[in-house]
């Protein structure tokens, strides 16, 4: 079985000292391709640089936390980054009203601008949402007819929210949140209505370490992606091989990745 981690923060300083070892462990776990998340102008550039170095893929975008601090020409910068063949989505973009690190008007403006950019470039969107579901859904409905597609990255919502995304023909990104029987209970209930053809898998490493992982780890890694898939397999009563095949095929389709080349292969 081969796996595709569609959300990994390899630019994090927590991977700064041992990235090569992290990638070796991922390869040993058959995680053969990844999408590195870009969250700001500088981090998107760093993500593209890593993707080029290791034959991975990346996103380019501005996280809602950074919406109030974008440069005047940030859209021009994102457009330039998105022209790189390793960039396969616009994001991480969306709305986050949980802590409001950026003012709501700035978040709404920057998110909508990125939706328009994604539509113009014919790239899918890599979506973030926290405590802003109705506002985010409203903007997605407004722009969906122009978008080639997208994924609700790190989905932690309930069944009703998942169905709303599915009605927009979006993919759902499942993380180790699924492995938390308390905080993740709404998600564990929701996956019963998730069709395999809309499933994507991601670790969001180094964050969201699966709670059921043994031995415990102080940091999440792409190598733990199969553990998430096994937890999902048990919940939905589908063989893990089918989960692997569907999630990997879906990732290649959404992000327009041809062939079966593993990372690190030139």
Q: Is residue 261 part of a domain?
A: no
For residue 128, say whether it is annotated as part of any ligand binding site.
yes
Going by pLDDT thresholds of 50, 70 and 90, the confidence category of residue 37 is: very high
Per-residue model confidence (pLDDT) at position 263: 82
Q: Compute how many other C-beta atoms are within 10 angstroms of the C-beta atom of residue 183.
A: 11
Per-residue model confidence (pLDDT) at position 265: 61
Q: What is the DSSP letter of 161?
A: H
Here the CATH number for the domain that contains residue 244 is 3.20.20.140
Q: Is residue 263 part of a domain?
A: no
The pairs formed by 211-218 with CB atoms below 8 angstroms and a separation of 24 or more are 211/176, 211/179, 211/180, 211/181, 212/179, 213/176, 213/179
What average pLDDT does this structure show over 256-263?
A: 80
Cα angle value 155/173/143 (rounded, 5°): 80
Q: Is residue 81 part of a domain?
A: yes
Number of independent structural domains in the chain: 1
What average pLDDT does this structure show over 142-161?
A: 98
Torsion sign (Cα): 169, 245, 4, 212: positive
The strand order across the sheet containing 125-130 reads 3-8, 31-36, 57-60, 87-96, 125-130, 150-152, 171-174, 199-201
Q: Side-chain half-sphere of 220: how many Cα atoms within 13 Å?
A: 26
Range of 36's domain? 3-254
**Is pLDDT at 266 greater than 60 in this prediction?**
no
For residue 242, say whether it is annotated as part of any ligand binding site.
no
DSSP, collapsed to helix, strand or coil, labels residue 57 as strand
Q: Is residue 76 part of a domain?
A: yes
Q: Per-residue pLDDT tens for 194-241?
A: 999 999 999 999 999 999 999 999 999 999 999 999 999 999 999 999
What average pLDDT does this structure show over 50-79?
A: 98
Q: Is residue 265 part of a domain?
A: no
Cα gap 208→151, rounded to integer Å: 18
What is the helix (H) or strand (E) element at residue 90, kind and residue range? strand 87-96
Q: Report yes or no on whether pTM surpasses 0.95.
A: yes
Q: Is residue 42 part of a domain?
A: yes
Q: Per-residue pLDDT tens for 108-133?
A: 999 999 999 999 999 999 999 999 99
Cα gap 124→126, rounded to integer Å: 7
Cα gap 223→139, rounded to integer Å: 35
Structure tokens at 174: 């499942």
Q: Side-chain half-sphere of 13: how many Cα atoms within 13 Å?
A: 0
For residue 92, say whether it is annotated as part of any ligand binding site.
yes
Among 12, 68, 59, smallest CA distance to 38 is for 59
DSSP, collapsed to helix, strand or coil, labels residue 227 as helix
């Amino acid at each position: 079985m081969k796996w595709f981690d569609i959300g990994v923060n390899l630019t994090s300083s927590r991977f700064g000292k041992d990235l090569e070892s992290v990638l070796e462990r991922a390869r040993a776990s058959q995680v053969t391709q990844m999408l590195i998340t870009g969250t700001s102008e500088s981090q998107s550039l760093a993500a593209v640089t890593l993707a080029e170095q290791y034959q991975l893929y990346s996103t380019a975008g501005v996280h809602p936390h950074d919406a109030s601090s974008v440069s005047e020409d940030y859209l021009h910068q994102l457009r330039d980054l998105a022209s790189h063949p390793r960039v396969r989505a616009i994001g991480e973009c969306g709305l986050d009203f949980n802590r409001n690190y950026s003012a709501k008007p700035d978040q709404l403006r920057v998110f909508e601008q990125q939706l328009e950019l994604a539509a113009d470039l014919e790239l899918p969107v890599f979506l973030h949402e926290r405590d802003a579901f109705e506002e985010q859904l409203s903007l997605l409905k407004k722009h969906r007819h122009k978008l080639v597609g997208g994924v609700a990255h790190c989905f932690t919502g309930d069944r009703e929210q998942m169905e709303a995304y599915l009605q927009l023909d979006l993919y759902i990104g499942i993380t180790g949140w699924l492995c938390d029987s308390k905080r993740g209970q709404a998600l564990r209930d929701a996956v019963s209505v998730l069709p395999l053809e809309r499933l994507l898998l991601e670790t969001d490493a180094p964050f969201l370490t699966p709670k059921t992982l043994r031995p415990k780890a102080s940091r999440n890694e792409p190598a733990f992606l199969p553990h998430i898939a096994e937890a999902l397999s048990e919940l939905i009563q589908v063989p893990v091989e089918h989960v692997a095949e569907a999630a990997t095929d879906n990732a290649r389709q959404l992000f327009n990745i041809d062939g079966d080349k593993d990372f690190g292969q030139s």
